[in-house]
């Protein structure tokens, strides 16, 4: 019988700052991930407001082309690489070990390494603003040969993204081993919470796709610094090659950015509908289906190059809508005849379901080859990505924060402020991004610093900009709720929401060793079983 | 059950957490080289000639490539280097088999010979680089050649460091028949590096 040494609480006294810098505790690292990603969310948000200010009126000179290119590039890079991807690592770090009844991640020190690659990468990426010619300006997609011609900021961007790639690759291996090997007795694979399953599939995608991005970045770095010719037609290279290798990563990456969000709302919807998730296994297989098919659709970003097999990639992209549609039914079936209550986590989850539906439908439009030719590189694409990644992922982030705040910090965020934030964000979001569909269909190209007032473009852009400031405003109730929560003492019980999953069996916040006692696990809803003393048949 | 009790306590999990994590890490490395190989084959498929001598002529005419540049590889030396690297895969496996039987001396010699063979391979690669009649900027073919072989070489270097750490630990008596996971991980990594080289040698030197 192996014995487990449980650290005595308060047994080691060291300065608080040293404690946080040297910690290998998955909960502390999770919190560090959450704080750091939210910081970059704020930075990326400010950049977005600068972009929207520039585009508010036609022929504007608030930003010049040079500044505008840096700012929209860094907005996307910060939001994707420094906010969405790492914040899932934050939720995952905090929750996965608790949800499967483990003491910690499988490799706590590698976990710390994953985190500590992240803040320096952010600093390196943003240090581009300090060098000659400024930060990266080729968009987050860094298309070559444009990316070859830019200044040092581009190299800093490449280095930063490569570091983040290493961070998520080793993090992915850590999550996989944790879920394969560290589950509590009774916690079979098909009793794991849906959030864990989405982290599992996300980790497989990270593990297999991120290294391909690393190879693409390597080639770009060689082209830029060692006279390479991978993407330079003058040396026999091929500019479309970059797009192939880049999107081979970056299409799976959009699932890396959305699947854990789907997992979060699949935790929230059953709790606030007082029902089990409708079709637990169907959801898992749909997630696996999205993960698998995710590797076969990358070239739908490249239809207009004419260099890809359009019928194949169009068909596969249509096909990936099927498992996504299955999930829609999972969520709607969960809500159907439930006893719905509308606390902030539920509002954000419902926001996700409705906005992601629009993002899915306009995505299916864009997957049709002839439509894609019409809307390629227009604002329609900007609308699509934001309906999926803001209407989807960001709503899930806030839903998750409101839902798990009591567990992580032992305090509850104010419901009323949460509702105000939700409605401001929901209205602001639609005001910002819905008009972009119309602008895109009307042919307004994306990534341009300014435009003529043609066909009421200025009116639509002005609506969009005012929506963006409404989103900015919606962050103040959130900040107020957080500050108010931290001014109160920790008063939350183990399970304030009457939830289903194992993290609610321990105290809020959990002790260093996570659980004093792990309840028996007979189903995917151990806490429901604990409350009602029943074993559901699964 | 009682009869098997003694063996059951010595029973090892087929794969420890550490080894599983390490294999996943190697899977990500496979994808990294997969990306580079894909780039090579896409560039090859898109070129009228391979090696792209037509592009080289144009570059010479434009003055972006030296007049003595030739897109040509010598096979003899890399073939010998290939044999050496393949041999080192056998020696490192022999080292693992020795420590599994509890033979520490065998482990030390096996690792030492494998490291020596690895260093020989790298030395030959560096000499080969110094003799090649083209540099990394001379067409996409040359860029791909130096990138693929260079990153492979860096991985050989990583494997040598890994095995050296194991060697030092072995000399300190840290490994036994039961506990030698690091050596096994090093051998996995070394076999991976070896397999990548066989694929590279076939692609660059035989298929051409």
How far are the Cα atoms of A96, A184, A260, A392, B30 from residue A263, in angstroms, in the given order? 12, 20, 5, 11, 29
Instruction: Test B33 with A238 for CB contact under 8 angstroms.
Output: no
Burial of residue A53, with CB atoms counted within 10 A of its CB: 0-12 exposed, 13-18 middle, 19 or more buried: middle
Confidence of residue B84 (pLDDT cuts 50, 70, 90): very high
Q: How remote is the C-alpha of A456 from its chain's centroid?
A: 34
DSSP letter string, A37-74: HHHHHHHHHHHHHHHHHHHSSTT--SS-HHHHHHHHHH
Instruction: Test A177 with B17 for CB contact under 8 angstroms.
Output: yes
The b-or-e profile of A152-161 (16+ CB within 10 A means b, else e) is bbbbbbbbbb
Contacts 24+ apart (CB under 8 A), B72-78: B72/B133, B72/B134, B73/B132, B73/B145, B73/B204, B73/B205, B74/B128, B74/B131, B75/B205, B77/B124, B77/B127, B77/B128, B78/B124, B78/B125, B78/B128, B78/B201, B78/B205
Mutate to test the interface with B, among A206, A236, A240, A307 (most CBs of B within 10 A): A236
Q: d(Cα A500, Cα A495) in Å, to the nearest integer? A: 9
Q: d(Cα A125, Cα A229) in Å, to the nearest integer? A: 25
Contacts of B35 in chain A (CB under 8 A): 211-216, 245, 248
For residue range B97-109, what is the model confidence (pLDDT) as tens digits?
999 999 999 999 9
Contacts of B34 in chain A (CB under 8 A): 211-212, 215
**Location of structure tokens 């970003």:** A301
Of residues A106, A211, A235, nearest to B21 (C-beta):
A106
- What integer is the mean pLDDT of B8-17? 65
Instruction: Test B47 with A244 for CB contact under 8 angstroms.
Output: no
Closest CA to A212 of A178, A183, A244: A244
User: Is the backbone of residue A488 left (phi > 0), alpha (psi -120 to 50) or beta?
Assistant: beta
Instruction: Indicate if the alpha-carbon torsion angle A221, A224, A228, A233 is positive or negative.
Output: positive
Closest CA to A257 of A366, A352, A394: A394
Strand partners, A135: A153
Instruction: Test B36 with A215 for CB contact under 8 angstroms.
Output: yes
Contact A95, A503 (CB under 8 A): yes
- What integer is the mean pLDDT of B66-88? 94
> Tokens for A103?
């003491």
Confidence of residue B194 (pLDDT cuts 50, 70, 90): very high
Q: d(Cα A521, Cα A500) in Å, to the nearest integer? A: 11
Q: d(Cα B112, Cα B124) in Å, to the nearest integer? A: 18
- Residue A46: what pLDDT? 98
Instruction: Test B28 with A229 for CB contact under 8 angstroms.
Output: no
Inform me whether the pLDDT recorded for B1 exceeds 80: no
Contacts of A248 in chain B (CB under 8 A): 35, 38
Burial of residue A537, with CB atoms counted within 10 A of its CB: 0-12 exposed, 13-18 middle, 19 or more buried: exposed
The b-or-e profile of A372-399 (16+ CB within 10 A means b, else e) is beebbebbbbbbbbbbbbbbbbbbbbbb
**Location of structure tokens 């296994």:** A281
- Residue A488: what pLDDT? 93
Of residues A211, A216, A235, nearest to B140 (C-beta):
A235
Q: d(Cα A447, Cα B149) in Å, to the nearest integer? A: 38
Contacts of A228 in chain B (CB under 8 A): 136-137, 140, 143, 147
Contact A207, A173 (CB under 8 A): yes
State residue A156 phi and psi, 5-degree precision. -60, -40
Contacts of A219 in chain B (CB under 8 A): 36, 39, 147
> Tokens for A171?
């993090």
State residue B63 phi and psi, 5-degree precision. 80, 10
> What ipTM was estimated for this complex?
0.91
Instruction: Test A234 with B64 for CB contact under 8 angstroms.
Output: yes
Q: Which of residues 45-74 of B touch A (CB under 8 A)?
A: 46-47, 52, 55, 59, 62, 64
* Helix ranges (DSSP H) in B46-103: 53-62, 76-100
Cβ-based neighbours of B194, under 8 Å, separated by 6 or more: B85, B86, B88, B89
Strand, helix or coil at A445?
strand
Cβ-based neighbours of A125, under 8 Å, separated by 6 or more: A74, A77, A78, A81, A82, A135, A136, A156, A157, A160, A161
Q: What percent of chain B has pLDDT over 70?
A: 94
The b-or-e profile of A110-125 (16+ CB within 10 A means b, else e) is bbbbbbebbbebbebb
Mutate to test the interface with B, among A108, A227, A235, A250 (most CBs of B within 10 A): A235
Contact B204, B128 (CB under 8 A): no
Q: d(Cα A212, Cα B147) in Å, to the nearest integer? A: 14
Confidence of residue B10 (pLDDT cuts 50, 70, 90): very low
Inform me whether the pLDDT recorded for B12 exceeds 60: no
Strand partners, A153: A135
- Residue A107: what pLDDT? 97
pLDDT tens for chain A, 538 residues: list them: 455 666 556 556 788 899 999 999 999 999 999 999 999 999 999 999 999 999 999 999 999 999 999 999 999 999 999 999 999 999 999 999 999 999 999 999 999 999 999 999 999 999 999 999 999 999 999 998 899 989 999 999 999 999 999 999 999 999 999 999 999 999 999 999 999 999 999 999 999 999 999 999 999 999 999 999 999 988 999 999 999 999 999 999 999 999 999 999 999 999 999 999 999 999 999 999 999 999 999 999 999 998 889 999 999 999 999 999 999 999 999 999 999 999 999 999 999 999 999 999 998 888 889 999 999 999 999 999 999 999 999 999 999 999 999 999 999 999 999 999 999 999 999 999 999 999 999 999 999 999 999 888 999 999 999 999 999 999 999 999 999 999 999 999 999 999 999 999 999 999 999 999 999 999 999 999 988 876 544 4
Of residues B21, B139, B141, nearest to A173 (C-beta):
B21
Instruction: Calculate the CA dihedral of residues B103, B104, B108, B110 and round it to 10 degrees.
Output: 20
Contacts of A172 in chain B (CB under 8 A): 24, 28
The b-or-e profile of B57-74 (16+ CB within 10 A means b, else e) is ebbeeeebbeeebebebe
How wide is the angle at C-alpha A191 spanned by C-alphas A186 and A193, nearest 5°?
Answer: 125
B39 touches A at CB < 8 Å: yes
- Residue A192: what pLDDT? 97
- What integer is the mean pLDDT of B155-166? 98
Closest CA to A195 of A254, A102, A279, A267: A267
Q: d(Cα B117, Cα B193) in Å, to the nearest integer? A: 13
Strand partners, A378: A445
pTM for the model stands at: 0.93
Q: d(Cα A384, Cα A140) in Å, to the nearest integer? A: 16
> Which residue on chain A is closest to B52 by alpha carbon?
A236
Tally Cβ neighbours within 10 Å of residue A334: 25
Contacts of B46 in chain A (CB under 8 A): 238, 241
């Amino acid at each position: 019988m192996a014995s487990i040494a449980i650290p005595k609480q308060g047994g080691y006294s060291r300065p608080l700052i040293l404690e946080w810098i040297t910690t290998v505790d998955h909960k502390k690292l999770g919190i560090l991930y959450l704080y750091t990603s939210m910081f970059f969310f704020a930075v990326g948000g400010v950049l977005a407001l600068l972009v929207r200010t520039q585009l508010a009126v036609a022929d504007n000179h608030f930003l010049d082309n040079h500044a505008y290119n840096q700012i929209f590039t860094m907005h996307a890079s910060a939001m994707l690489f420094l906010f969405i991807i790492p914040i899932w690592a934050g939720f995952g770090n905090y929750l996965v070990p608790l949800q499967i009844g483990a003491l910690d991640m499988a490799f706590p020190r590698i976990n710390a390494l994953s985190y500590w690659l992240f803040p320096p990468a952010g600093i390196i990426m943003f240090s581009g603003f300090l060098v000659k010619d400024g930060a990266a300006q080729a968009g987050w997609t860094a298309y070559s040969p444009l990316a070859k011609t830019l200044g040092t900021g581009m190299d800093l961007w490449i280095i930063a993204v490569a570091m983040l790639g290493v961070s998520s690759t080793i993090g992915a291996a850590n999550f996989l081993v944790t879920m394969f090997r560290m589950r509590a007795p009774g916690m079979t694979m098909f009793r794991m919470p849906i959030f864990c399953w989405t982290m599992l599939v996300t980790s497989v995608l990270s593990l297999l796709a991120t290294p391909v991005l690393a190879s693409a970045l390597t080639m770009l770095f060689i082209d830029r610094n060692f006279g390479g010719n991978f993407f330079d037609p003058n040396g026999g290279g091929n500019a479309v090659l970059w797009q192939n290798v880049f999107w081979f990563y970056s299409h799976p990456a959009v699932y890396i950015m959305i699947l854990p969000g789907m997992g979060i709302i699949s935790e929230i919807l059953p709790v606030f509908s007082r029902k089990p998730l409708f079709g637990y296994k169907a959801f898992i297989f749909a997630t696996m289906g999205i993960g698998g098919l995710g590797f076969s659709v990358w070239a739908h970003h490249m239809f207009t190059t004419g260099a890809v097999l359009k019928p194949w990639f169009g068909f596969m992209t249509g096909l990936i809508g099927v498992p996504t549609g299955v999930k829609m039914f999972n969520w709607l079936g969960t809500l159907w005849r439930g006893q719905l209550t509308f606390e902030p986590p539920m509002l954000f989850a419902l926001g996700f379901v409705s906005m992601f539906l629009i993002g899915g439908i306009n995505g299916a439009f864009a997957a049709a080859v002839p439509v894609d030719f019409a809307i390629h590189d227009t604002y329609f694409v900007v609308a699509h990505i934001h309906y999926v990644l803001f209407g989807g992922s960001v709503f899930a982030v806030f839903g998750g924060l409101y839902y798990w705040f009591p567990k992580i910090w032992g305090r509850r965020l104010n419901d009323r402020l949460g509702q105000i934030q939700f409605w401001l964000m929901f209205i602001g979001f639609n005001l910002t991004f819905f008009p972009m569909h119309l602008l895109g269909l009307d042919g307004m190209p994306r990534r341009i610093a300014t435009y003529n007032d043609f066909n009421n473009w200025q009116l639509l852009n002005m609506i969009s900009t005012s929506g963006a400031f409404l989103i900015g405003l919606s962050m103040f109730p959130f900040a107020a709720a957080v500050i108010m929560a931290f001014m109160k003492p920790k008063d939350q019980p183990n399970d304030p929401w009457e939830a289903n999953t194992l993290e609610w069996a321990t105290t809020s916040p959990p002790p260093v060793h996570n659980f004093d006692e792990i309840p028996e696990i007979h189903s995917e809803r151990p806490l429901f079983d604990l409350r009602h003393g029943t074993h559901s048949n699964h | 059950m009682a009869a098997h009790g003694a063996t059951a306590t010595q029973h090892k999990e087929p794969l420890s957490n550490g080894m599983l994590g390490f294999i996943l890490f190697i899977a990500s490395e496979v994808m990294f080289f997969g990306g580079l190989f894909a780039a090579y084959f896409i560039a090859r498929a898109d070129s009228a000639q391979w090696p792209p001598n037509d592009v080289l002529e144009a570059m010479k005419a434009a003055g972006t490539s030296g007049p003595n540049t030739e897109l040509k590889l010598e096979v003899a030396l890399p073939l010998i280097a290939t044999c050496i690297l393949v041999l080192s895969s056998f020696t490192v496996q022999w080292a693992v088999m020795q420590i599994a039987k509890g033979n520490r001396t065998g482990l030390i010699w096996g690792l030492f010979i494998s490291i020596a063979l690895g260093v020989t391979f790298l030395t030959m690669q560096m000499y080969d680089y110094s003799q090649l009649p083209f540099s990394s900027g001379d067409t996409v073919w040359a860029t791909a050649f130096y990138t693929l072989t260079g990153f492979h070489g860096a991985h050989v270097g990583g494997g040598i460091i890994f095995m050296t750490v194991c060697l030092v630990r072995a000399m300190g008596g840290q490994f036994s028949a039961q506990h030698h996971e690091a050596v096994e991980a090093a051998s996995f990594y070394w076999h991976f590096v070896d397999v990548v080289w066989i694929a590279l040698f076939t692609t660059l030197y035989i298929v051409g």
